[in-house]
Structure 1
Amino acid sequence: MRIAYAALLAVPPAFAADFAAIKAGVMRATGGVIAPDEVRATAVESLFEVRVGTELMYVDETGRYAMVEGHLVDLASRKDFTQARMDEIRAVRFSSLPLEHAIKIVRGKGSRVVALFEDPECVYCQKVHKFLDAQTDVTIYAFPIPTTSSRPAAEAAWCAPDRAAAWTRLMTRGEATGAGGCATSIDAVIDWARARGINGTPTLFFADGSRVDGAPDPRDLLAKLNTSRLSK
């Protein structure tokens, strides 16, 4: 017997629900910031469609917990449960990073630590690196993940007599120095990153193992950095 899937999807079950109460719950949880235009039942019991203009999200019957762009969010506290779980899954022990393949840059005592996977042509990488390089007490483990076009400059910096200085000039001033032509760890870094789902730059790791994808706000980055110290 063939099942009329289209018909089943077109007519969601009529679960008993107070749509007005759900709408009020969304408004209460968001302090009135989100005012639903329409609330409808879905094919999943206790999950409701909320339309705001032409945008959709899905909430529970209280209107507080929502699926927003695939993430489960507490609309009242703004906690993103999905992101928190993803951060937990992707966290790594700092000591398990391939530090032997990093370009180590030390400023001052270097007691605060951060690992930075970056591409010389990535504008956001450059901004993050400049911010970190300006700190007076930090150790930066820079991991090159160049594109095809930026690889020659990355290899030149790697092969320079003072690798840390050459990489810093490349990331902060766009100056490529060094002749290249030596054996590098760039492919090893790329392979390690790909195996762990690092598909974009910048990607940062801190001493507690936490990972940040993309360029964080400078204030947030400084807050993370201030607590990123390795145990002795």
Structure 2
Amino acid sequence: MFVKNLSALLLSLLAIGCSANEAEIQKAIEAKLGVKVESVTKAGYFGLYEVYADGHIFYTDDKVSAMLIGGDMIRAQQAVNLIDLKNNRNITDERLRKLTAIKFSDLPLERAIKQVRGDGKRVLATFEDPNCGYCKRLAKDLAKLENVTVYTFLYPILSEDSLKKSRQIWCSADRLKAWNDWIIDGKTPGGRDNCDTTAITRNQEFGRKLNITGTPTIVFADGERVPGALPLNALEQKLNQQK
């Protein structure tokens, strides 16, 4: 749990009174929160510093005398958002997308189910649990895309049945057909589940390393990561931006 007792944490931080640079802020927060801070940068607003740690962004002042932490961060959600009202920009969201970006060339595509439509020039990857309802909704929209290559990483995180289905799909002679039969048409995968499924285990390890906590998670060619099922028009817009 990222923050066990927010009130106690804030009170303890008030004891730190000297001004600090980025390195000192990082050291102080790591000591108080017990997590690795990946970056500390000036937020550009109200003299605040942006702190990125454990997949979340929060804010503190140069004396580390107080912090802005969303209550919902306990449930792994980003609740505090810094908004630039003049330019109508969600600064926190923009920064979080940049900080959580995944270099597409780093994806182990050999462990994904590949499907190509048309010329396949537009590219995206997804992390999906076979029992995820939003994944089923996404699959129906992905099926409508043209000239695209989709890499689907089986990422069973919801239940033991998710793992069993993932293994059965991976062990199928035609993995793409087995995946689409289930995720789009609802045809339960059959057959064995005892082939070499280390790819699925490694996908789970890889996803945890990237702090992928929900499905579907979409990764576009530019590295942008989007949690959740985007509607068809949003998928088209994002893919067309990458031509």
| TM category, shorter | 0.5 to 0.7
* Cα RMSD, aligned residues only: 2.5
Correspondence 1:182-221 to 2 at 5 A: 182-184=195-197, 185-221=199-235
List runs of 5+ in structure 1 lacking aligned partners: 10-44, 48-66
What's the TM-score, normalizing by structure 1? 0.66
Tell me the distance in 2 between the aligned counterparts of 1:142 and 1:164: 9
User: Residues 219, 76 of structure 1: CA spacing in aligned structure 2 closer, same or farther, 3 A cutoff?
Assistant: farther
* Structure 1 residue 108: Cα displacement: 1.9
Correspondence 1:57-136 to 2 at 5 A: 69-136=79-146
Tell me the distance in 2 between the aligned counterparts of 1:126 and 1:228: 25
Correspondence 1:119-198 to 2 at 5 A: 119-146=129-156, 147=158, 148-179=160-191, 180-184=193-197, 185-198=199-212
1:96 alignment partner AA: D
2:137 alignment partner AA: K
SS in 1 for 2:169: helix
SS in 1 for 2:184: helix
1:82 alignment partner AA: T
Tell me the distance in 1 between the aligned counterparts of 2:239 and 2:228: 15
Tell me the distance in 2 between the aligned counterparts of 1:46 and 1:88: 21
Q: How many aligned residue pairs are there?
A: 170
Tell me the distance in 1 between the aligned counterparts of 2:95 and 2:142: 27
SS in 1 for 2:82: strand
List runs of 5+ in structure 2 lacking aligned partners: 1-9, 15-45, 49-68, 71-78
What's the TM-score, normalizing by structure 2? 0.64
Determine if contact 1:143/1:189 at 8 Å carries over to the other structure.
yes
Identity over aligned residues, as a percent? 40
Bigger radius of gyration among the two: 1
* Structure 1 residue 76: Cα displacement: 4.3
